[in-house]
Amino acid sequence: MNVQVSDETIRVTGLQQLNGPSASLFRTQVLASLKARHQVEVDLSQILTVDGGGLGALLSLHKVCSGVRLLNPTPPVRQILELTRMNRVFEIVQN
């Protein structure tokens, strides 16, 4: 996982999974880099599934920053986001 910080955006790339222990690590690393004004962009293009821990980590970020943008979710992840109605909470960008 790579976390890149700029003035207004934190970009997370290289995620292979977002569940269990990896969700906790993801949340910890991003929150450590976060300032209230930051927008967070999470590239989901390599993830095939997200569990409750992963969704919880994304929601934690949503609560403490100016916004969370999910980039290029794979079809299975997009389906999970739609089934859980998280597509109404997060901005989803498909390139």
Report the SS3 class of residue 85. Answer: coil
Q: Where are the domains of the chain?
A: 2-93
What is the CB neighbour count within 10 angstroms for residue 70? 23
Q: What is the pTM for the complete model shown?
A: 0.88
Q: Do 15 and 43 meet the contact criterion of CB atoms below 8 Å apart?
A: yes
> For residue 36, what pLDDT band results from cuts at 50, 70 and 90?
low
State the average pLDDT over residues 21-40: 86
CATH number for 2-93: choose from 3.30.2290.10, 3.40.50.720, 3.30.750.24, 3.30.420.40.
Answer: 3.30.750.24
pLDDT band at 21 (very low <50, low <70, confident <90, very high): confident
Q: Across the chain, how many H-helices and E-strands are there? A: 3, 5
Task: Note the helical H segments in the chain.
Answer: 20-33, 52-64, 75-83
